[in-house]
Amino acid sequence: MALVYEFMPRGDLHNFLYSTQDSEGSSCLNYISLAERLSIMVDVSDALAYVHHNHQGTIVHCDLKPRNILLDDDMVAHVGDFGLARFKFDTTSPSLVDSTSTSSLTIKGTIGYIAPEYAAGGQVSTAADVYSFGVVLLEIFIRRSPTDDMFKDGMTIAKLTEINFPDNVFQIVDPQLLQELEQREDITMTIRDSGAQTLRSVLSIGLCCTKTSPNERISMQDVATKLHEIRDAYLRGNLRTSSQ
């Protein structure tokens, strides 16, 4: 027997973020626009919201990270590798499955993306997936791996964001995004302002997802709703301004 999966031509998100060689052999990072990053995280949030809340029971992924997010030819993101996933079924009333429900199974995952409660012997929960999602969200907009050498002695990607939020976020976000918002002549001041507010709104969600206490984190349903609103508002603003 064999499992046949749809081919993902653009590979995984980690390689897409950090690849430094183009088809001509020159060294450069892939260009990823603000709109593309928003859409990627909307896709991932929709996938996690489904397995957490809209399935016949609850599925906890347990290892969400950029290497497990695959991109198709249209830059649509797909969450893969459910090899560590944990299942909690409640066929009588799936809606009553608590977002912090746990499992006694051995916890595994990837350093940098694992929720802090796991280090203290915590159990599997959807709130831990939310934490991992928050790390990935911050990573894609800051473009630094949570295992980067700068993150040591208690400093994490979430802590870095918190320290610089909201006034100094432009000092930590991916320079490509700043170039998109500040240097392109075809972008109006209205779009620049909209982009700046969009970045702050997205990073705020990342901070809500990476709260130290799992009980303080928002659900993936709320995350997905907020990200849809942010992306749609940003795209509407771009469309309205470009048509004037």
The number of folded domains in the chain is 1
**110 occurs within a structural domain:** yes
**12 occurs within a structural domain:** no
- Domain span holding position 186: 32-242
Give tens-digit pLDDT for 72-124. 999 999 999 887 778 765 444 433 334 444 444 455 689 999 999 987 777 88
CATH number of the domain where residue 181 is located: 1.10.510.10
Q: What is the pTM of this model?
A: 0.87
Q: What's the chain look like in SS3?
A: CCCCCCCCCCCEHHHHHHCCCCCCCCCCCCCCCHHHHHHHHHHHHHHHHHHHHHECEEEECCCCCHHHEEECCCCCEEECCCCCCEEECCCCCHHHCCCCCCCCCCCCCCCCCCCHHHHCCCCCCHHHHHHHHHHHHHHHHHCCCCCCCCCCCCCCHHHHHHHHCCCCHHHCCCHHHHHHHHCCCCCCHHHHHHHHHHHHHHHHHHHHHCCCCHHHCCCHHHHHHHHHHHHHHHHHHHHHHHCC
Query: Average pLDDT over the chain, rounded to whole?
Result: 85
Catalytic residues: 63
**220 occurs within a structural domain:** yes
